[in-house]
Every structure is written in structure tokens, then in C-alpha cells.
A and B are shown apart, each in its own frame.
Chain A
Amino acid sequence: KAGVTQTPRYLIKTRGQQVTLSCSPISGHRSVSWYQQTPGQGLQFLFEYFSETQRNKGNFPGRFSGRQFSNSRSEMNVSTLELGDSALYLCASSLGPGQGNEKLFFGSGTQLSVL
């Protein structure tokens, strides 16, 4: 079974631009969550989607948004990029609610650099 796939692997943008990151979960997984990882802040939860609905959201500004499609694939978008948005963005998939405490399966991430 294929793992979680994130594209692109690396991305370089300039301040003010916007970016869209993609995540394909493991087949059969219906929940997708996104995390931002920086050296100073560690792993921080962005949001989580299940059945095309956002069910949890972390403490990030509205410039960070996401969505999930009917095939469970997910995208996250960051608008008006700032230098501080440079980070490794990780996507994780899981079976979904009602499965006990969910085990997350992570992709390799998208390394975003904002210049």
C-alpha cells in the first residue's frame, strides 16, 4: 500500500506570493491533518479534515487555509507569504474518528522557503 504522498517536495517563493501544497493520503484513510514544523516552534497543528469538512483548526492566521476533496486528497493554501512561513509542512493521514486514538501516518513533507 502506498504511503502518504506530498507534492512538491521543495518550493521557493517570495514574500507576498501564495502557495498551494498537495497531500494524497493512504488508500482508505479519510482523515488528513496538516502540521507546520520550524526549528524554533517544533511541530504545530494547522488543521484537520474528515469527509471534506474541517473538524479541527490550530492557532494560525486566516492566511492558512485548506480543503479536502471527495477522494480524501487534501490541499493547503498559504496566501500573502511572509518570511516566517518558511517551514517544513507535513501532512498526515489516518483512518478517521471512531478508531480509538488515531495513528497518524506522515508524508515526507514540503519544504517551503520564502525569500
Chain B
Amino acid sequence: LAKTTQPISMDSYEGQEVNITCSHNNIATNDYITWYQQFPSQGPRFIIQGYKTKVTNEVASLFIPADRKSSTLSLPRVSLSDTAVYYCLVGDPLFSGGYNKLIFGAGTRLAVHP
């Protein structure tokens, strides 16, 4: 199974760049890497997804090295509203019928301070 390892928690200050690294040593060839953000009492929200190299959207960047055994979510200039839990996921094709299932790890609890 393609499992992920992330830091349990991180602290930052408003205006700083935050980088959260995720390890996924058993990532499969066809797997993508996806990051979600979750606020208390809400469902997770999709942030960004990538396969290799670098992906950037309006809220974050995702850096994936050539071996794809890790990835780094980069949040530029965080604000207090970025305080949340961030989950790194990889696709898991090891199910009957070849269907994918996304496994959520414990996530990284990011606290942004004024």
C-alpha cells in the first residue's frame, strides 16, 4: 500500500513561506500526489495535485523530485486563515478491479501565528 509520512505539526508566522514535506516511498508508477486542506468541522478541500516536477496554482506549489518518493507543498506568504490540517495522499491501485482508493494519513497540523 502506498502510505505517506508527514510531520505531525508545524508552526509559522504570517507572511512567511511554509513548506510541508511528505514521504511516499512506495508510490506506484501511475499514482498522482494530491494535497488537501481541512478546517475544523469541515470536509477536506482539494489544494493541488501533481505527478512529477513542479505544479503551481493560485494557492500553492507542489514540488516533486525525479524519484517521486517525496513531495513538498509550498504555501507562499501564509495568513492566519491558513491554519488547518494538510493531508498528503497518493493513489492506491491495489484493489480488485484496479480501482484507486485514496488513503488519508494523519496529516500535518499547521498553526500560523500573528
Please report A residues at the B interface, Cβ cutoff 8 Å. Answer: 4, 33, 35, 42-45, 48, 50, 55-56, 88, 90-92, 97, 100-109, 111
Contact = CB atoms under 8 A, between A and B. Distances in A.
A109 B105 CA distance: 19
B31 A56 contact: no
B99 to A, nearest CB: 5
A50 B42 CA distance: 24
6 contacts: A56-B99, A102-B91, A104-B44, A104-B46, A108-B41, A109-B41
A56 B101 contact: yes
A101 B31 contact: yes
Most buried by A among B36, B101, B105: B101
Interface of B: 31-32, 34, 36, 41-46, 49, 87, 90-91, 95, 97, 99-107
Contacts of A42: 104-107
A92 B45 CA distance: 10
Given A55-B99, A56-B99, A97-B99, A103 B105 contact: no
Most buried by B among A43, A88, A97: A43
Contacts of B46: 103-105
B43 A48 contact: no
Contacts of B106: 42
Given A88-B41, A106-B45, A108-B42, A43 B100 contact: no
A101 B104 contact: no
Given A42-B105, A56-B95, A102 B45 contact: no
Contacts of B97: 55
Nearest to B33: A101
A89 to B, nearest CB: 10
Contacts of A109: 41-43
A35 B32 contact: no
Given A101-B34, A101-B91, A45 B45 contact: no
A92 B42 CA distance: 12
Contacts of A56: 95, 99, 101
Given A42-B107, A43-B87, A97 B100 contact: yes
